[in-house]
């Protein structure tokens, strides 16, 4: 089982080509055994996933439902689902990146038509969350967004930028980012 878990880990990391070392015998045997049924990999995945259950349950207790009044897009729902699952399973940096994506998508759906055209022209249909927040901050009255929305959305953007450019986030940073994103969505998706 330990070798199966080592093999699973080796699939998630870059491997140096031509390092001079031959493939370990246990790895060759395992590949041969898994050629048809993949039972060893299945067991390694099962063990790894079982170890994630209790921490995921604890993390889930820190969240509440995200209740909104206005509908969102299917894409925003998928981003929020993925961000939340990343948090549950300890993928904290990915969680923050997905939080940025969900806000970016939700803002695009809620911008007034005139401001949306301006954003599309100004940023050539590639506006980032930072670009969108710049426009929202400068046109808050026109958007009709809640005055607390920019503060929360900027905090999410900052966490996401930190995740992308400065390294891995802690569990607390990811939870804060996710909670801010969910609260921002509740403010944004008011009727």
Q: What is the DSSP string of 102-115?
A: HHHHHHHHHS-HHH
**One digit per residue, pLDDT tens: the chain, 191 residues?**
676 677 667 777 777 776 556 667 766 666 666 666 677 778 888 998 999 999 999 999 999 999 999 998 999 999 999 999 999 999 999 999 999 999 999 999 999 999 999 999 999 989 999 999 999 999 999 999 999 999 999 999 999 999 999 989 999 999 999 999 999 999 999 97
Alpha carbon distance 124, 179 (integer Å): 31
What φ, ψ does residue 168 adopt, rounded to 5°?
-65, 145
Neighbours of 174 (CB within 10 A): 25
Alpha carbon distance 176, 84 (integer Å): 12
Neighbours of 188 (CB within 10 A): 23
Neighbours of 149 (CB within 10 A): 24
Query: Residue 35: what pLDDT?
Result: 62
Q: How far is CA 96 from CA 49, 90, 159, in A?
A: 22, 11, 6
């Amino acid at each position: 089982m330990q070798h199966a878990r080592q093999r699973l880990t080796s699939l998630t990391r870059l491997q140096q080509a031509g390092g001079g070392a031959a493939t370990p015998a246990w790895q060759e045997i395992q590949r041969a055994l898994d050629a048809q049924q993949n039972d060893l990999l299945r067991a390694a995945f099962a063990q790894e996933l079982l170890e994630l259950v209790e921490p995921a349950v604890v993390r889930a207790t820190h969240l509440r439902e995200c209740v909104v009044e206005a509908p969102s897009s299917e894409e925003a729902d998928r981003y929020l689902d993925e961000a939340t699952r990343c948090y549950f399973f300890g993928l904290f940096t990915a969680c923050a990146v997905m939080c940025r994506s969900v806000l970016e998508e939700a803002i695009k759906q809620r911008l007034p038509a005139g401001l949306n055209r301006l954003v599309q022209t100004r940023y050539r249909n590639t506006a980032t969350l930072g670009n969108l927040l710049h426009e929202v901050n400068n046109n808050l009255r026109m958007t009709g967004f809640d005055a607390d929305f920019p503060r929360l959305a900027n905090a999410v953007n900052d966490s996401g930028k930190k995740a992308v450019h400065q390294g891995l986030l802690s569990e607390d940073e990811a939870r804060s980012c996710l909670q801010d994103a969910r609260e921002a969505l509740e403010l944004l998706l008011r009727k």
